[in-house]
């Protein structure tokens, strides 16, 4: 059998691929999980979308009962446009963002808005209860005296955090 000759270029490619998958936020078996909420590409939260859809249907029905279908459509589109513009302006003015980082022993929460920053450090052993909503991508952890809300951008982050919490909470 002939041996295959391995070049330096192929070795570098394999080493680069292995190092690029090590600690990428919530992917893999990382010692630390970190994420920011909301991401820049997030337009509406699922809760906002759900509420906006319900209000739009109500406005459409009320406008349709009072007038014609065209005025109902105009009222609904105007409501959605107005809501979108106001929500975008509030997000630009407020500039709120949460930074989460979870290690083997602690959960670090940093809430940043335009004028102030709040930092909390919670030991995982002090967490008494936790609950997560996989549809709306949120949840909370309860310590002895306080409830800490958590927000996620996608289901992958939520599942990774939940696994990490269950693994390190009791030990």
160-170 pLDDT, tens digit per residue, is 888 888 887 76
Q: Does residue 112 carry a pLDDT above 50?
A: yes
Q: What's this model's pTM, rounded to 2 decimal places?
A: 0.61
The answer to the question of residue 11 being in a domain is no
Share of the chain above pLDDT 90, in %: 5
Residues 89 and 103 in one domain: no
Q: How far apart are CA 22 and CA 29, in angstroms?
A: 8
Q: Mean of the pLDDT values across residues 70-96?
A: 85
Peptide bond into 38 cis (omega under 30): yes
Structurally, how many domains does the chain consist of? 2
Residues 27 and 100 in one domain: yes
Share of the chain above pLDDT 70, in %: 78
What confidence score (pLDDT) does residue 92 get? 79
Starting from the edge strand earliest in sequence, which strands make up the sheet with 33-37, in order? 33-37, 97-102, 106-112, 117-123
What confidence score (pLDDT) does residue 119 get? 92
The answer to the question of residue 17 being in a domain is no
Cβ contacts of residue 150 below 8 Å, gap of 6+? 100, 109, 132, 138, 139, 140, 141, 161
Residues 27 and 53 in one domain: no
The answer to the question of residue 16 being in a domain is no
> Which residue is listed with tokens 């509030």?
90
Residues 120 and 153 in one domain: yes
Domain interval for residue 81: 46-94
* DSSP 3-state of 134: coil
Structure confidence by residue, pLDDT tens digits, 7-45: 555 545 444 444 444 444 444 455 788 888 877 666 667
Q: How far apart are CA 10 and CA 103, in angstroms?
A: 35
Residues 61 and 112 in one domain: no
Q: Does residue 134 carry a pLDDT above 60?
A: yes
Q: Mean of the pLDDT values across residues 109-120?
A: 89
The answer to the question of residue 10 being in a domain is no
Cβ contacts of residue 45 below 8 Å, gap of 6+? 38, 136, 137
Q: What is the rounded average pLDDT for all residues in the chain?
A: 78
Residues 143 and 60 in one domain: no
Residues 67 and 128 in one domain: no
């Amino acid at each position: 059998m002939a041996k295959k000759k391995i070049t330096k270029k192929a070795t570098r490619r394999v080493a680069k691929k292995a190092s690029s998958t090590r600690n990428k936020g919530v992917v893999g078996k990382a010692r630390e999980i970190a994420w920011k909420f909301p991401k820049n590409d997030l337009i509406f939260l699922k809760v906002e979308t759900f509420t906006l859809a319900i209000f739009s249907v109500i406005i459409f029905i009320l406008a349709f009962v009072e007038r014609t279908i065209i005025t109902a459509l105009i009222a609904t589109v105007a409501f959605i446009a107005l809501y979108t513009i106001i929500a975008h302006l509030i997000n630009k003015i407020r500039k709120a963002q949460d930074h989460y980082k979870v290690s083997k022993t602690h959960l670090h929460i940093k809430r940043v808005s335009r004028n102030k920053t709040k930092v909390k450090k919670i030991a995982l052993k002090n967490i008494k209860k936790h609950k997560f909503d996989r549809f709306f991508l949120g949840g909370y952890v309860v310590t002895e005296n306080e409830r800490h809300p958590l927000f996620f951008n996608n289901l992958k982050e939520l599942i990774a955090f939940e696994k990490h919490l269950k693994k390190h909470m009791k030990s």
